[in-house]
Amino acid sequence: MSHFEHTSLGAAGLPADLDEAAHRCLVAGFDGATSVPDPLKELVDRGLGGVILFTRNIRDARQVRRLTDELRAIRPDVIVAIDNEGGGIGHLVAAGAPDVPGSYALGVVDDPNLTARCADALAAHLAGLGITAAYAPVADLRHRPDNPIVRTRSFGVDPELAARHLRAWITATEARGIASCAKHFPGHGGTVTDSHLGMAVDPRPYDALGVDLEPFRAAVDAGVPMLMSAHVVFPALDPNRPATLSRRILGDLLRHDLGFDGVLVSDALEMKAIADEYGEAAGARIALAAGADQVIVAVCDLNVTLHCRDAVLDALRTGVLAEERIQEAAGRVRLLAGRYATPPTSDPAGWDADAGIEAARRAVRSRGVPPAVRGAHVVDLFPPPHPGLNWGGEDLLSEMRAADPTATGTAVTGECADPDSLVEGIVRRCGAAPLVVATCDAGLHPWQVRLRDALSVRRPDAVRVDTGLPEGGVLCSYGRGRVNLRAVAEVLAGL
């Protein structure tokens, strides 16, 4: 008799244990917040390794806890995860997330104890919601000023600085019983393309890439239980495939050279770097064969996840994907679930609610404090929210008005059809009041440079502020999280 005749078969015609193992290798997103849809219930019941939540799944804290409880009622060891980097990248604003300023501001302050306090607050909040895995912190180094995606999500360009803050973040998160995940291996900071929008390539030679591995090496040494791969091609490492799909990078470099034995999870497969070049289903199969343990299908349409699942099962049936590889991956996921799937039973309260604003203030004031400009007209120029990330509605004008009720302002979130009329209207509304012009990543968005310069010609006394990376302003927030902007507003208002 064959092995199949001796073994109970799952719904896909594979041995039940192999069907369950294949499902362990998937992390799924979904639409809705009030209940778990039936297709997701089936996936969880068959062994789904993880569920990733987004803003679309969040209404308030009580609703999130009901949702995570419902998921675990179906299968107690399903991991519930979320992107939770702090700063302007987060999905839990409506659920009362702690305000922390994001990694770059923390790197500017360079106080690992303060970073640990911020990470502890984020992790404690997750524990109270029943979310037990955070796809953070970012370990990418910010090499290029024209990199469109890492920017203030990074701790900085110095690998030793990034390493000490990664250790602080991971250790604090682990102490709360929450799984952390350093990303995006082996680094996304040397590219000029956002992998959400297309295939990113890092053209640097082999010897230049070693510096990017140091933060990941520090994360591994700190016991990080998960790493996330980058959809980036490194010709010096593997000229044919992005890291997510590369056996050389995931196997030889990560497993052998860095000695990582935790769960390696892919970045989301619907990102265009994978979806447009390979397709999500082929991406899932190739990533798992290359050494990934889990693949994320974050899109809300569960049909895409089912298509990826079916491609993996078909590859197992035909022998294209080795059973041993899936069982190895599923084994790592089971170990992760054994440590983190059940929310901590200790009281998650008691985090330091002031850590985030302290960090933001210290970052903003690190280069000195200019004279206050009370009653100013604030022009806030910033790009439209990134479609693949989250914007919680934070804006400089709201924070400025809270700090100085006499302030007025104009927000501009994209290139306008008639910039001359816009400038004329701003100057007229401002009148004799002080003018503040804030830009965010103006080097990537020339329309901001044009408006800023046109306003400076009309008002040479205008105060320049940067709300992304430093670009010559007298103040820099180092990010657009709520506390980043609040700290800038306080300085402008003289508080």
Please identify every residue annotated as catalytic: 196, 267
Beta carbons of 290 and 243 less than 8 angstroms apart: no
Cα of 176 vs its chain's centroid, Å:
20
For helices 302-318 and 16-24, what crossing angle results, to 10°? Answer: 130
Q: Count how many Cα atoms sit within 13 Å of the Cα of residue 38 in the half-sphere of its side chain.
A: 0
Sign of CA dihedral 307, 18, 25, 269: negative
Distance CA 475, CA 482 (A): 16
How far from 234 is each of 90, 246, 287, 337, CA to CA, in Å? 29, 10, 16, 32
Helices 112-129, 159-175: inter-axial angle, 10-degree rounding: 40
**377-381 and 295-297 beta bridge pairing:** unpaired
Give start and end residues of each alpha helix (H) in 431-474.
Answer: 446-458
Half-sphere exposure for 329 (CA within 13 Å, toward CB): 34
Phi and psi (nearest 5°) for 52? Answer: -110, 130
- Burial group, residue 412, by CB count within 10 angstroms (0-12, 13-18, 19+): middle
CA distance 109 to 115: 9
Residue identified by tokens 């044919």 is 240
- Angle, CA of 179, 181 and 184, to the nearest 5°: 170
CA dihedral in degrees (355, 350, 93, 185; nearest 10)?
A: 70
CA-to-CA distance for 104 and 481, rounded, in angstroms? 11
* Phi–psi pair at 375, nearest 5 degrees: 75, 20
Distances in whole angstroms, Cα of residue 353 to Cα of each of 23, 85, 114, 120, 124: 38, 16, 12, 10, 11
Host H or E run for residue 329: helix 323-340
Strands (DSSP E) contained in 70-171 are: 79-82, 84-86, 89-90, 133-134
Rounded-to-integer distance, Cα 215 and Cα 208, Å: 14
